[in-house]
Structure 1
């Protein structure tokens, strides 16, 4: 798993970066919140939270990153509401598997936000962002 997220991969253009510190696995979670009927992900745990990226479109589970930083669910709602330009890009998953529930953001948006707020866990985000 050494390809960057935007290079041509075997089945997807989104692939995690290699990390000697993290064990990234593939998962597939059934959900009615997605037209595919499931969400295929690359995933790993960080501070008791699941860090996930949709294999097909690169959406990142921002809730996992946000909570790994020690922030609450209420804080993520405030952060999103304070930036209305994010609203059209947000994918919310409610119900179904607990580990896929939350706010999903496009890769580029999640990367930009992580650069602003996730400095304390930057090394733990290498599998996502390099």
Structure 2
């Protein structure tokens, strides 16, 4: 059984202060910290910074900076099938991504390294750029 174990409001600080992957400060976003149990990860859980956007959860893995690209993609109004098409059209992405299937619904989807998600967001997420400040500054 999967559950959200930890929910707390985070004091936000600029990238690079303390841990490598931390959300940027934003007066317009309420970022919380969560920890979700999953058998899809060797740690047995995924610790995240998270906040809602357009009915989706925007998440960053606290330990390694992976970004839940599915949340950004769906917040833009695209379907999950479009992610598969995008990844299939760029085979160099395939070895970089992590897919979480099953378990807690919030963490399911395609996760990408921070740098990859940042580059893709610059190309396709212009309409929600202000909403991605906690992730990318």
Give, in angstroms, the shift of residue 29 of structure 1: 0.2
Aligned partner of 2:14 in structure 1 is 3
Match of 2:110 among 83, 88, 103: 103
Match of 1:41 among 34, 42, 48: 48
Aligned partner of 1:31 in structure 2 is 38
Structure 1: distance between partners of 2:28 and 2:14: 17
Give, in angstroms, the shift of residue 8 of structure 1: 4.4
Give, in angstroms, the shift of residue 2 of structure 1: 1.8
Give the secondary structure class of the aligned counterpart of 2:63. Answer: coil
Aligned partner of 1:81 in structure 2 is 88
Q: Tell me, which stretches of 5 or more residues in structure 1 are unaligned? A: none
Structure 2: distance between partners of 1:95 and 1:110: 22
Match of 2:133 among 122, 126, 130: 126
Match of 1:54 among 61, 66, 77: 61
Give the secondary structure class of the aligned counterpart of 1:96. Answer: coil
Structure 2 length normalisation: TM-score?
0.90
Structure 1: distance between partners of 2:102 and 2:71: 16
4+ long deviations beyond 2 Å: none
Structure 2: distance between partners of 1:47 and 1:81: 26
Structure 2: distance between partners of 1:80 and 1:23: 30
